[in-house]
Chains A and B, each alone.
Chain A
Amino acid sequence: MSALRYALSFRWANALSEAAGYVSAFALAAATVVMLHGVASRYFFGMATVWQTEVSIYLLLVVTFWGAAYGLKHHAHVGVDVLTDRLPARGQLVARILTSLLSLVVIAVVAWKGTVLWYEAYEGGFKSPTAFRAPLSVVYAILPIGMLLVALQYVFFIVEAASALAGRVPVDEALAEIKQHDPLADTVVPDTGPGPGTRPGPAGDDRQVSR
């Protein structure tokens, strides 16, 4: 029963988004390394950089489309919330459900068409039109998987907001979890903060460290 309740609460979508974020961060590091390898082999050994360019672009797709779910969980996707912020707490929850549904429309279209694109590449065994000849069935899978992760995160938002409206979850708690953009979360980088979105400490600490 509790396993079913957990499944229905969609809390596991949070864990998926978090994992997707770590994969994306790793992809970003990998892209940096691959590009450095490309630069080095071109300038020092005079070799062509066929696979480096292509692979780093595919890693960029992972950073963007899989990172999108992580960004959604951490409220990185900027939105204009000056109007909705004026609503009372329950109104904000309703607004959040509506905008999540609207976003899901776009995500569904892209995920669906992306799956069709992937399926065609998979059926036809398409390769990228370069010397590297990357299998497009792998490359085209990045987009629909990313959209699926984003969709799951949105479903969690909707379930959470609906439970709060039904009185099963405290309203403030749900709001804190699903609230739209926090302008600080993605801009302030603490020196040795414990995690993403950490606010800067009293800046005095900063000064004592290295004087």
Chain B
Amino acid sequence: MDSPLATGGVIGLMALVLFMTGMPIAFALGLTAVASTVLFLDPAQLDIFAKLVFDSLNDFALLAIPLFILMGNIFGGSTASKHLFEAGEAWLSRIRGGLGMSSVVAAALFAGLTGSSPATAAAIGRVAVPEMRARGVSARIATGAVAAGGTLGILIPPSITLILYRIAAEQSIGQLFAGGVVPGILVTVLFCVWIFIATTLEDRRRRSVTGERALVTSGVGSEHGSGGATSAGASTGGDAYAAPTYTWGDRVRALLKVLPFLSIIGAILFALYAGVATPSEAAAVGVLVVLVLIAIVYRGITWRGLGHSLLDATNQSTMILMITTFSAVIGTVLAFLSVPQELALMVTELQINKWLVLLVINLVLLVLGMFLPPVGIIVMVTPVLFPLITALGFDPIWFGVLMTVNMEIGLITPPVGLNLFVLKGIAPDISLKDIVLGTLPYVGVLSFSIFLMAVFPGIVTWLPNLMF
């Protein structure tokens, strides 16, 4: 095979076929690397495989991944997510769709303490979905808000995908994390706007169906917390949005309860941006602080719970790091074959409009995202695309954040949208169809965010440029 690009195509195809067999992504990548080495390089090159595997993890920065996962696990295992949701609700209950918005805001705050999206959806969903259902929010709006809100886990720092992007693209983690902040807030606000619109549309439809009945009952406001309301649901919508009333005192108290955790987020971000600590050190300190805070505030730390958090963090970390390892191996093989360089050269020589290239890249990422988890895509695609992105003159920080928002879409699109399955696990009584339909509009919202970030790159680059 003489053309590196054709070789690259064959390797890519081989990887896709192996993915479809259902074998673990890490080993599918490893097998692709072994086969490509034997076929296109020299079997003697296999000698360096163990060293490649070893060296890919010989990196202090990677320690941030298990530690941020551990921090999120400890946090998620406590009742803190409940308090986040309640704080959001106390402040937003007066707005139409306020409960759904509370879930999104709680997820955004939770995302500040964890780097994983399914973990965010699980922690918030466990609290928010039953509460919303009990208070008459429709199945679609309730599950959509949580599934979509959960995706903020990988955008709002600390973010595992951005840590992995940093390693593949050799960018500053402080800048990348800072780049995720404003888009994170933007996406949160846009999600809330959609919840407002969806709730309005649903109310209107409901009113036209049930006529006067809805008008009569909509004023009654004391269904809150009654146990039997769980299954009353949104079937008829008679008792929709019977929200309790909050005084300003309630609101301040609710906020004070979550303030310690908000201050951890602030402290971690400050330590990273000010260059006081590396991400790994910040994560280790974060684990300690979260542990101490939860022990003091909730008195909810047991040895068993801690052991469970550790085992679970091991599980998630080994999955991510095994994929990272083997994509480093395949990345080295591709670089030996000079595939990424040739790709960059070809696209730039063809002088295709760079925005068209960006559109195509985003569509490819979207399709990959339907099947593969974000971490897998980031570690596989970044080394291949990075030379192209820089050759086209795109800002690497901006592209990393853009790619992460794209990955968020993959988490909520079938057939393999992790967050959809998390929601199905939390609310087994809601059909997957309702979950998918409730979540689908957020694909549009996220695409719109990508569009906004492409038109106004300052959304991403403003904060990093301000700080560095």
Chain B residues positioned under 8 Å from A107 (CB to CB): 27
B425 sits at the interface (CB 8 A): yes
Q: Which residue of B lies closest to A68 (CB)?
A: B318
- Bound: A15/B322 CA distance, A: 21
The stretch that binds A, out of B42-50, B385-393, B397-405, B459-467, is B42-50
Residue of B nearest to A100 (CB): B23
The closest CB in chain A to the CB of B325 belongs to: A64
- Most B Cβ at <10 Å: residue of A80, A83, A85: A80
Complex: how many Å from CA A39 to CA B289?
A: 14
* Distance of A65 Cα from B321 Cα, bound (Å): 9
How near does chain A come to B61, taking the closest CB pair, in angstroms? 10
Given contacts A67-B317, A195-B308, A203-B129, contact A28 B49 (CB under 8 A): no
Rounded to whole angstroms, the CA-CA distance of A199 and B426 in the bound complex is 8
Contacts known (A39-B284, A99-B23); A82 close to B318, Cβ less than 8 A: no
Q: Quick check: is A47 within 8 A (CB to CB) of the other chain? A: no
CB of A77 within 8 A of CB of B322, answer: yes
Nearest chain A residue, comparing its CB with the CB of B74: A189
Interface contact A36-B284, CB-CB below 8 Å = yes
- B24 and A103 within 8 A (CB): yes
Chain A residue numbers with a CB within 8 Å of B82 are: 206-207, 210
Interface residues of B in 15-51 (CB under 8 A from A): 18-28, 30-31, 34, 46-51
Q: How far is the CB of A69 from chain B (nearest CB, A)?
A: 9
Residue of A nearest to B134 (CB): A204
Q: How many angstroms between the C-alpha atoms of A191 and B287 in the bound complex?
A: 17
Interface stretch (choices B184-192, B196-204, B415-423): B415-423
Residues from chain A with a CB closer than 8 A to the CB of B62 are 60
Task: Assess whether B371 is interfacial by the CB under 8 Å rule.
Answer: yes
Q: Which residues of A contact B24 (CB under 8 A)?
A: 72, 77-79, 103, 180-181
Interchain CB contact under 8 A, A203 and B304: no
The residue from A78, A99, A181, A203 contacting B21, defined by CB atoms under 8 A apart: A99
Q: Does A63 contact B (CB under 8 A)?
A: yes
Select the stretch in B4-12, B63-71, B346-354 that faces chain A.
B63-71
Q: CA–CA, A68 to B310, complex, Å?
A: 14
Most buried by A among B230, B280, B305, B318: B318
Query: What count of chain A residues pass the 8 Å CB interface test?
Result: 79
Q: Find B314's partner among A67, A84, A140 (CB 8 Å cutoff).
A: A67
Shortest distance from the beta carbon of B367 to any chain A beta carbon, whole Å:
13
Contact check, B284 vs A188: say whether CB atoms are below 8 A apart. Answer: no
CB of A201, distance to nearest CB on chain B (Å): 9
Given the complex, which residues of B lie within 8 Å of A84, measured CB to CB?
A: 21-22
A21 to B318, alpha carbons, bound, how many Å? Answer: 10
Tell which of A82, A103, A207 touches B416, judged by Cβ atoms closer than 8 Å: A82
Q: Bin chain B's interface residue count.
A: 35 or more
Query: When A60-B63, A64-B321, A113-B49 are in contact, do A193 and B308 touch as well, CB less than 8 Å?
Result: yes
Give the complex CA separation of A185 and B425 in angstroms.
Answer: 10
Q: Is the CB of B280 within 8 A of A71?
A: no
CB distance from A194 to the nearest CB of B (A): 8
Query: Cβ of B318 and Cβ of A63 under 8 Å apart?
Result: yes
A-B pairs with beta carbons under 8 A, tally = 260
Which B residues are CB-close (under 8 A) to A109? 30, 34, 46, 49
Contact with B67, one of A32, A116, A184 (Cβ below 8 angstroms): A32
| B34 in contact with A113 (CB, 8 Å) | no
CB of B118 within 8 Å of the partner chain: yes
Q: Which A residues lie within 8 Å of B182 (CB)?
A: none
Instruction: Tell me how far the C-beta of A153 lies from the nearest C-beta in chain B, rounded to whole angstroms.
Output: 12
Q: Does B373 contact A (CB under 8 A)?
A: yes
Q: In this assembly, does B54 line the interface, its C-beta being within 8 Å of a C-beta of chain A?
A: yes
Measured between beta carbons, the chain A residues less than 8 angstroms from B418 are: 183, 187
Please give the distance in Å from B66's CB to the nearest CB on chain A. Answer: 6
A74 (CB) vs chain B CBs: closest residue? B315
Are B425 and A200 within 8 A (Cβ)? Answer: yes
Interface membership of A10, Cβ < 8 A:
no
Answer whether A189 and B319 are a contact pair too, CB < 8 Å, given A60-B57, A184-B422: no
Query: Please, how many angstroms separate the alpha-carbon atoms of A190 and B78 in the complex?
Result: 9
A203 touches B127 (CB 8 A): yes
Determine if A143 and B425 form an interchain contact, defined as CB atoms under 8 angstroms apart: no
Q: Judging by beta carbons under 8 Å apart, are A191 and B79 in contact?
A: yes
Partner of A70, one of B28, B57, B58, B315: B315
A2 within 8 A of B: no
B76 within 8 A of A: yes
Supposing A60-B63, A79-B25, A189-B76 touch, asked if A29 and B425 sit within 8 A by C-beta, the answer is: no
Of chain B, the residue at the smallest CB distance from A54 is: B60
Across the interface, A117 reaches (CB within 8 A) one of B28, B51, B126, B315, namely B51
Chain A residues 81 to 109 lying within 8 A of chain B, measured CB to CB, are: 81-85, 95, 98-100, 102-103, 105-107, 109
Q: Is there contact, CB below 8 Å, between B322 and A102?
A: no
Can you report 24 A-B residue pairs in the complex whose CB atoms are below 8 A from each other?
A25-B307, A25-B313, A28-B310, A29-B310, A32-B288, A36-B288, A63-B66, A63-B321, A71-B315, A71-B319, A78-B373, A102-B31, A113-B49, A113-B50, A114-B54, A117-B54, A180-B22, A189-B73, A189-B76, A189-B309, A196-B315, A200-B425, A200-B426, A206-B126
Other than the given A72-B24, A186-B312, A196-B312, 9 more pairs (CB < 8 A) read A24-B318, A68-B318, A110-B53, A114-B50, A143-B50, A143-B53, A184-B421, A188-B122, A199-B425
